Chains A and B, each alone.
Chain A
Amino acid sequence: MSGKRSLGRFLRENAVILLFLIITILAIRPSGLSLVYIAQELITRLGRDSFLVLALLLPIYAGMGLNFGMTLGAMAGQFGLILAINYNVIGVDGLIFAALVSLPVSLLLGYVCGAVLNHAKGREMVTGYILAFFINGLYQFVVLYLMGSVIPVRSRTIVLSRGYGIRNTLNLDSVRLSLDNLLALKLGPFTFPIATFLVIAALCLFIIWFRKTKLGQDMRSVGFDMQVANSAGVPVDRTRIIAIIISTVLACIGQIIFLQNMGNMATYNAHDQTSFFAVAAILVGGASVKKANIPNVFIGVILLHGLFVVSPNAGQKLFGQAMIGEYFRQFIGYAVIAVSLVLYAWRARREADRLREGLRGGAGTPAMAEGGAK
């Protein structure tokens, strides 16, 4: 293979990553932010967001695409945090309390989500997305109407003045940065939230280990071809449900980590963009609907948030309006998801067409198909 061709291939395969790098680097100067500030922001955001993005991996292995239903887990996590605030469990204990309380909720929601997606094979992504809206309605019903009226709430400060329902914004001071500051390491101008990084590292090890277990192997064979997996005796539906349950539980813990870093919570909106940011990040990191690995997660978080850090200021300086930067970063997020999905679907179709052409050609088909793929 000639050098020119492999360069072209490298550019094609990493087009999204390169485009992001170029836009971000171009935007750094007009934003007027110092490199030290940007680097510290990226360290913080790496701790804040990586766990949520890692939650997307298992459903991709199981061939269920990007799990937009992860929002369900995020809502369960918020429910747990509300209770932690209510019972005034503070610090890391509060986070653990929130995670334990929301565990059964996220297990249940994960099961429901997996079961629904099993009825929508081939349309998992759009169904998961709508399911998140649907459960959002139930979440609002519970938090806005039942809490304080049916579910007892001890702390009156978090209840709306009308007597029931939780306030729109919740102050998380009692658990704020509790995980990040548990083991904070100061190195020069930078602060590293080591404890958070350790939790994320533990999850990475879990995922690496899980891929090697029987269940993990089953999951990948289901993702490769459901029919083949089924005839090999793998319980397809059950495996898919397990993938979604684990993803939902991880998203629940991820949202708790995310919110302890933010320090306050928009009770009814905090989960709105959870899946949007996570999915955009993993796609920017070079993953596709069918293929993803751990490096994709971290590359994606750094690239996406690099752009998010600089774009509002750059928009302010270049156009005189901060709103332009704000809209721009949302536009970029949606556009990245759209373009990645289009590229993936387009490639999959071309591959299918080529295989069909190969069949028409007759003998030596697999070799020809492979030759074409290069």
Chain B
Amino acid sequence: MPSPHPSAAAAAGDNQDLIPQKSGVLRAARRIITDFGWPRVIIFIFLVALFVAAPAVGVRIDASLSDVFNRFGQNALFVLALVPMIQAGCGLNFGLSLGIIAGLLGATLSVQLGLHGMTGFLGAIVLAAPFSIAFGWLYGKLLNKVKGEEMTIAMYVGFAGVMFMCIMWLILPYTAPDMIWGYAGKGLRTTISVENYWIQILNNLLPVRIGQFFKFPTGEILFVVLAAYIMWLFMRTKTGTAMTAVGSNPDYARSSGISVDRMRTISVVLSTFLGAAGIIVYEQSFGFIQLYTAPLAMPFTAIAAILIGGASVKKASMVNVVVGAFLFQGLLTMTPSVINSWLQTDMSEVVRIVVSNGIIIYALTRKTKVTK
């Protein structure tokens, strides 16, 4: 389990060079925690406590860890998708559902064409690419016209897009019998199984099994790591640096000859494409394509995760993505199993709602101080 503490210590170290040092271990500890961010510390401690308490209430740690890794891989791409737009100053991408819709189009087309195995999975991503680029480009153009108001508008553009596609899923001329309603003979089903196509294609690539209950989804994690690495490299190219410059100071960026609108559009297209790839990775692991209103809530989960990871509305790094996705998915996995076994009642939904939205509010209300 990647402990985020070393990075926090490093962050604190950076800042201590600037601040006159006062003696006292307590004070140092307080500074480390402040730099790390209280919410992250609390959630980290809570998660550790859940793991410690798990055996006592009869929850297997190895099975839980296996779940956490799996869900981390399943959701990490959504979290990663938020990075370019945050860096380019477009805020939190509440309209990530547009990318998810593009991914759903790719996935359903891949099943419609009868593509199987790795071809089916990669085919879905390739088929989703043109949609995600087109959606992202239009969406980016729109967001350029409403600078400063992006987040609320993004949310409603996303909602409207999802509802529009609800109508489309009913009337688009899909014909594959695995996908359409049996009795009506038309219209896509609410959930479509990919069991005969590309279920768990990444998860079952070089899996590491330890004992009966633990399985490390190597392929899925590798895919995520690869994507994060490419993103990390991209942020260090000329375009990536320009994008960050636009986000930190648009006027300065413009006076250095960077086209602000172009950089923002690129960031939105990138985010939308990653959202599309993200839902396909999610589906291969989950086993089902979920259509209709399913994408409505997905952006909020991703946003909560990256904020738990320590990102702000204006700055996000790969560390934020990995730590955030891990902590948040860990929380989502462990709370139901542990709390439910302990209290004999299902409180998981309430805990999830309060924690994820509490974190988003915390990020929206705080000055743009960043934890590394």
Query: Residues of A with Cβ closer than 8 Å to B?
Result: 65, 116, 119-120, 122-123, 125-127, 129-131, 133-134, 136-138, 140-141, 144-145, 319, 321, 323-324, 327-328, 330-331, 334-335, 337-338, 341-342, 344-346, 349
Smallest distance from the beta carbon of A65 to chain B beta carbons, Å?
8
Contact across chains for B146 and A338 when beta carbons are under 8 A apart: no
A300 to B151, CA, bound (A): 24
Q: CB within 8 A of A342: which of B145, B151, B155, B357?
A: B145
Q: CB within 8 A of A145: which of B157, B167, B347, B366?
A: B347
Once A125-B152, A337-B156 are accepted as A-B contacts, the answer to whether A342 and B347 lie under 8 Å apart by CB is: no
B113 CB–A CB distance under 8 Å: no
Once A319-B171, A331-B167, A342-B153 are accepted as A-B contacts, the answer to whether A133 and B353 lie under 8 Å apart by CB is: yes
Contact across chains for A123 and B151 when beta carbons are under 8 A apart: yes
Contact across chains for B358 and A328 when beta carbons are under 8 A apart: no
- 9-residue interface stretch from B158-166, B228-236, B279-287, B330-338: B158-166
On chain B, the residues within 8 Å of A321 by CB distance are: 170, 187
Contact across chains for B152 and A327 when beta carbons are under 8 A apart: no
A319 to B171, CA, bound (A): 9
On chain B, the residues within 8 Å of A331 by CB distance are: 160, 163-164, 166-167
B178 CB–A CB distance under 8 Å: no
Using A134-B358, A324-B171 as known contacts, list a sample of 20 further A-B pairs with CB atoms less than 8 Å apart, ordered by residue number in A.
Answer: A123-B364, A126-B364, A127-B364, A131-B357, A137-B352, A137-B357, A140-B349, A145-B345, A324-B167, A330-B163, A334-B159, A334-B160, A338-B157, A338-B159, A338-B160, A341-B152, A341-B156, A342-B146, A345-B146, A346-B145
Most A CB within 10 A of own CB, among B163, B171, B300: B163
Sample of 17 A–B contacts (CB below 8 Å): A116-B361, A126-B94, A126-B152, A127-B364, A129-B155, A131-B357, A134-B354, A144-B350, A145-B345, A323-B170, A331-B160, A335-B160, A335-B163, A341-B156, A342-B146, A349-B145, A349-B147
In the complex, the chain A residue whose C-beta lies closest to that of B184 is: A321
On chain B, the residues within 8 Å of A141 by CB distance are: 347, 350, 354
Once A324-B171, A337-B156, A342-B146 are accepted as A-B contacts, the answer to whether A120 and B364 lie under 8 Å apart by CB is: yes
Contact across chains for B163 and A334 when beta carbons are under 8 A apart: yes
Contact with A along B119-143 (1 / 0, CB 8 A): 0000000000000000000000010
Contact across chains for B155 and A126 when beta carbons are under 8 A apart: yes
On chain B, the residues within 8 Å of A328 by CB distance are: 167
In the complex, the chain B residue whose C-beta lies closest to that of A164 is: B345
On chain B, the residues within 8 Å of A145 by CB distance are: 345, 347, 350
Smallest distance from the beta carbon of A59 to chain B beta carbons, Å?
14
Q: CB within 8 A of A345: which of B149, B358, B361?
A: B149
Once A126-B155, A334-B156, A338-B157 are accepted as A-B contacts, the answer to whether A134 and B166 lie under 8 Å apart by CB is: no
Contact across chains for B361 and A130 when beta carbons are under 8 A apart: yes
- Which range holds the interface residue count of chain B? 35 or more
Tell me the interface secondary structure of chain A in the complex: helix
B173 CB–A CB distance under 8 Å: no
A137 to B159, CA, bound (A): 21
A284 to B361, CA, bound (A): 28
On chain B, the residues within 8 Å of A342 by CB distance are: 142, 145-146, 153
Contact across chains for A126 and B145 when beta carbons are under 8 A apart: no
Contact across chains for A119 and B170 when beta carbons are under 8 A apart: no
On chain A, the residues within 8 Å of B155 by CB distance are: 126, 129
Contact across chains for B146 and A136 when beta carbons are under 8 A apart: no
Most B CB within 10 A of own CB, among A123, A323, A327: A327
On chain B, the residues within 8 Å of A334 by CB distance are: 156, 159-160, 163
A342 to B142, CA, bound (A): 8
Contact across chains for B163 and A327 when beta carbons are under 8 A apart: yes
Smallest distance from the beta carbon of B362 to chain A beta carbons, Å?
10
Once A126-B364, A130-B364 are accepted as A-B contacts, the answer to whether A338 and B153 lie under 8 Å apart by CB is: yes
On chain B, the residues within 8 Å of A138 by CB distance are: 354
Smallest distance from the beta carbon of B349 to chain A beta carbons, Å?
7
On chain B, the residues within 8 Å of A319 by CB distance are: 170-171
Interface residues of B in 4-51 (CB under 8 A from A): none
Smallest distance from the beta carbon of B149 to chain A beta carbons, Å?
4
B148 CB–A CB distance under 8 Å: yes
Smallest distance from the beta carbon of B79 to chain A beta carbons, Å?
17
A41 to B343, CA, bound (A): 47
Smallest distance from the beta carbon of A265 to chain B beta carbons, Å?
19
B360 CB–A CB distance under 8 Å: yes
Smallest distance from the beta carbon of B186 to chain A beta carbons, Å?
10
Contact across chains for B156 and A338 when beta carbons are under 8 A apart: yes
B365 CB–A CB distance under 8 Å: yes
Contact across chains for B364 and A140 when beta carbons are under 8 A apart: no
Contact across chains for A119 and B366 when beta carbons are under 8 A apart: yes
